[in-house]
Amino acid sequence: MSLSHDDVEKIAHLARIKIDDAELETLRTELNNIIGWVEQLSKVDTDGIEPMTSVVGTNLGHRNDSVSEVNLSDKILANAPDRVGDFYAVPKVVE
């Protein structure tokens, strides 16, 4: 599997990362090298093996349904690059 110019552009867009045209070709080569290298995994026989999603064997912990965090608006808004009143502001979205 080898990534085309378009593939790299598509991935960059999915990841919302702007890549300059000049950089894109170098990146394409690097990504293809890495992908080619990780593809050696295809040599491993994994028939009948369950994928391992976590090394932790225990059950999922949980919390009770009681409000433990009250009015953190100042905390969560403190680092906002653009803020209007108690809102975060972003460039206008057209649906």
From the CA atom positions of the chain, what is the Rg in Å?
Answer: 22
Task: Please state the closest distance from residue 85 (CB atom) to other proteins, in A.
Answer: 7
Task: Please state the closest distance from residue 14 (CB atom) to other proteins, in A.
Answer: 5
Q: Which residue from 2, 21, 22, 94 is in contact with other proteins, where contact means CB under 8 A?
A: 94
- How far lies 4's CA from each of 17, 32, 43, in Å? 17, 9, 24
The residues in 33-72 that bind other proteins, with binding defined as CB under 8 A, are 33-35, 37-44, 46, 49-56, 58-72
Task: Please state the closest distance from residue 1 (CB atom) to other proteins, in A.
Answer: 8
> Does residue number 2 form part of the binding site for other proteins (CB under 8 A)?
no
3-state secondary structure of 83: strand
d(CA 10, CA 20): 13
